[in-house]
Structure 1
Amino acid sequence: MDFRHLLVRKYRKTYNMLLAQLIAGPVLHIDETEMKLKDGRGYVWVFASPSATIYIFRRSREGDFLRQMLKNFKGVLVSDFYSAYDGLPCLQQRCLIHLMRDMNRATLDNPFDQELQSITAPFGALLRSIIMTVDEHGLKRRYMQTHANAVEAFFSALAERFYESDASKGLQERLLRNRQRLFTFLKNDGVSWNNNLAENAIKRVSDYREDVGRSVKEAGLAEHLVLLSLYQTCRVRDISFLKFLLSRERDMDTYAAGKHRRRRGPRIEIYPKGYLPSSIGSLRRAGTSRTGITITVESE
């Protein structure tokens, strides 16, 4: 625990730099998952891009903090359909994989609803044609825009039709409500039509959750998430996490570019100024001063 605490102190600046890069970037993927703690529960939020990942713990699933955090974000936010993202003042792209899963579930629950199928079938055909273009040309605006007229035609026909079944009316309302957030990727370079990047990052939290159960406290989880952020960022950049730590470099961009200088470690490692390990603190409290031992804490 002392070693983890020291690492977090050392790499807090790296963590903050990665967060700043995410907010300044053109695309940001976001997701959240519940985390049970020794003294309650909360939520771990993940913010990810193709070059960085940051995890943040919050006691509540409320998304009010996102307004302040993302007030300077000018890119496209990729997310699921959680309502906390609705009011954020930025361009947004909803995960179409989530939408297709919900459509498939609705179709299975209502196998004889022809009205519902009159929505899901054309939407599926439209999305398949777009994904074929993505597979061939990548997420490039100049190729994606060729589908803009087909998208407008789909929504125009959807808005004009009257549906009777509850399932079809519910899907119609959902699609029209999110009309401006379903195909944002057609108008912007490098924006994904799904949120797989954030969902893959959330798997690291799920693995950790299975390992620790409810034995972790908020302070310990917060420290773990700082190091997990560095680990996952190394992972998406195809960098060795261990080698990055051993390099003693704190700027990951500098390390990835191979511009860092090899630093020789000191012959004797000393604690940072003001840091007192818990083991030494307990010895002091036990009255080690009576033995005449003096413990000096110096700076790096």
Structure 2
Amino acid sequence: MPSKPFEPDITQSLTISHEDWERTPPSVRAVLVRQQEIIAEFAKRIEELEARLGQNSQNSNRPPSSDPPPQRVKRKKSKGAGKPGAKKGHKGSQQSLLEPTRTVPVPPDRCACGCREFRDLKPFHTHQHIELPEIEMQITHFVLYEGECSSCGSPNKGEIPQGFQVGYGPRLTGFVGELSGGQRSSRRAVKDFCQSVLGVSISVGAIQRCVDRVSQAILPHYEAIAARARTSRVNHVDETPWYRHGVLAWLWVMVNGTVAFFSVKASRSKAAFEELIGHWAGILVSDGYGAYRKWVQMRQTCLAHLIRRAKGLSERADTVVAHFGERISTELDRLIHWAHAPPTKGEVATWYARMCHLINQHRGRKDEAGRFARHLDAEMGNLWVFLLEESVDPTNNRAERALRLAPNDAGELQ
């Protein structure tokens, strides 16, 4: 039986001689060939799964909060960083003096010689002592009376004065809203705090009603922030999973150098993105999510996302894929450095030629390197918008940092 073109490779992988292969029955050869193909497929699959297991915020698009404890990488200190605390020659820092509610003069008690009389006294230091006053809640009972009109005999009832219809005043309501929203405390934690610290027993339902009233009170300001964001020339946009009563939703943010506009949507979709931005049509800074890639205006794609993806490829067992990831990571690092050190036209042209060469070498591959090369090819025009337009960052870190301020643990909302 004549040998097929791939059979020499089969004999090498099986470590058998060509003569033994020739003496092997065709049916057995077919089984061996198929087994080698299956082994190759499984090896590739195992490599992909191992690469996925090894993903973290440093080599993929995953946020730092998703890193398991063993994979959390401590940020490397800069060369100039030293031990925490006071530094010799540095200006000291201390608590600033607040407006006092009481001032106590403290003269010397007694001299070492035994004298207790002093002349020319003058202050030389002010020691500040801060204390929380004993909390005494203001409890007002409005006792409503009813009676008959002395003129016509009609029954009449007293009514709750305007501004006191709800059971909790504006300061307490705002305080509960700050604990729940601003400080990310759960409803049950707020309930326990009010009971133990304020001496007020309040139900979870009443806490929610306080939060709802605060939300209504700040609604005009929220709408003003949205309007301000939608008039900015440049905006960073990002989204993250957000659980509402155990149901998955998405928290979106539209942020610039002035304001950050947050909005919770039911889905991660083009429709949700369009609802967030309204009629805004400025320069978008984002990651490579499909809804963003369809933006018809100028868009700066996040170079940090691409660098992390390239670093992930550089850790692959396949040397070709790893080398491609390493080269791309180097080129993108060079590009992002130009945000602080603008390049010459010659440097840009040389960099562009290197990137095109790398992409063309791998875009035809069917593995992760090929997919990444094709993605880079599609994003090429969005890589250096920050070099052409002022006030445009090369990364979407601004939006990512804004999202980290929001709780994304379902337990925090209970």
More RCO (CA 8 Å, sep 6+)? 1
Aligned to 1:38: 245
CA contact (8 A) 1:145 1:187 kept: no
* TM-aligned CA distance change 1:77 to 1:144, over 3 Å: farther
Within the candidate set 256, 259, 267, 1:49 is matched to: 256
Change (3 A) 1:8 1:167: closer
Query: Which of 98, 114, 118 in structure 1 is aligned with 2:305?
Result: 98
- Secondary structure of the 1:192 match is coil
Equivalent positions of 1:1-80 (< 5 A) are 1-38=208-245, 40-67=247-274, 69-70=276-277, 72-80=279-287
CA displacement 1:114-141 (0-9 Å, x = unmatched):
3652x434433333333333335xxxxx
Which one-letter code corresponds to 2:357 in the other structure? A
TM-score, reference length from structure 1: 0.60
SS at match of 2:230: helix
Letter in 1 for 2:221: T
1:205 to 406, 409, 412: 406
1: CA distance between counterparts of 2:216 and 2:365? 60
Change (3 A) 1:36 1:115: closer
Equivalent residue of 1:161, what SS? helix
Q: Work out the CA distance in 1 between the residues paired with 2:232 and 2:343.
A: 21
* Aligned ranges 1:139-288 → 2 under 5 Å: 143=342, 146=345, 147-158=347-358, 160-161=360-361, 164=365, 166-206=367-407, 209=409, 211-212=411-412, 215=414
Q: Which residue of 1 aligns with 2:30?
A: none
Inter-partner Cα distance in structure 1 for 2:307 and 2:290: 18
Question: Quick check: 1:79–1:195 contact (8 Å CA) kept in 2?
Answer: yes
* Residues in 1 aligned to 2:280 and 2:238: alpha-carbon distance in whole angstroms: 16
Query: How far apart, in 1, do the equivalents of 2:360 and 2:309 lie?
Result: 23
2:339 to 115, 134, 140: 134
State the alpha-carbon separation in 2 of the partners of residues 191 and 126 from structure 1. 20
SS at match of 2:272: helix
Which of the numbers 120, 125, 128 marks the counterpart of 2:330?
125
Compared CA separation, residues 145 and 181, structure 1 to 2 (3 A): farther
Deviations 1:158-177 (A, max 9, x none): 45436557233222111112
Query: Which of structures 1 and 2 has the bigger CA Rg?
Result: 2
Verify the 8 A CA contact 1:155 1:176 in the aligned structure 2.
no
Q: Are 2:314 and 1:107 equivalent residues in the alignment?
A: yes
Structure with greater proportional helix content: 1
User: 5+ unaligned residues in a row in structure 1: which ranges?
Assistant: 137-142, 216-300
User: Under a length normalisation based on structure 2, what TM-score does the superposition of the two structures give?
Assistant: 0.45
Post-superposition offset of 1:196: 1.0
Q: Give CA-to-partner distance per residue, 1:21-76, whole Å, 9 cap, x none.
A: 21211211111111222262211111111211111111111221323553632322
Report the CA distance between 1:201 and its aligned residue. 1.1
Q: Helix, strand or coil for the counterpart of 1:205?
A: coil
Distance 1:131 1:156 in 2: 17
Q: Take 2:238 and 2:337, find their aligned partners in 1: how far apart are those partners?
A: 26
Equivalent residues of 1:67, 1:88 under 8 A apart = no
SS at match of 1:191: coil
Query: Structure 1: how far apart are the matches of 2:343 and 2:254?
Result: 25
Q: Is the 8 A contact 1:96 1:193 kept in 2?
A: yes
The aligned residue for residue 140 of structure 1 is: none
CA–CA distance in structure 2, aligned partners of residues 149 and 155 of structure 1: 10
Q: What letter is aligned with 2:350?
A: A
- Contact 1:123–1:154, Cα closer than 8 Å, also in 2: no
Partners of 1:93 and 1:131 lie apart in 2 by 12
Residue type at the aligned position of 2:340:
D
Q: Which whole-Å deviations, capped at 9, do the CAs of 1:200-249 have from their partners, x for residues lacking one?
A: 1111223x526525x2xxxxxxxxxxxxxxxxxxxxxxxxxxxxxxxxxx
Separation in 2, partners of 1:161, 1:116: 14
Give, as a single letter, the amino acid of the residue that structure 1 aligns with 2:404. K
Kept in 1, the 8 Å contact 2:254–2:277? The answer is no
- Compared CA separation, residues 40 and 126, structure 1 to 2 (3 A): closer
Residues 86 and 134 from structure 1, CA distance in 2 versus in 1: closer, same or farther, beyond 3 angstroms? closer
RMSD: 2.6
Give the direction of change, closer, same or farther, for the CA distance of 1:144–1:68 in structure 2 (3 Å limit).
farther
Q: Shift of residue 77 of structure 1?
A: 1.1
The percentage of counterpart residues that share the same residue type is: 20
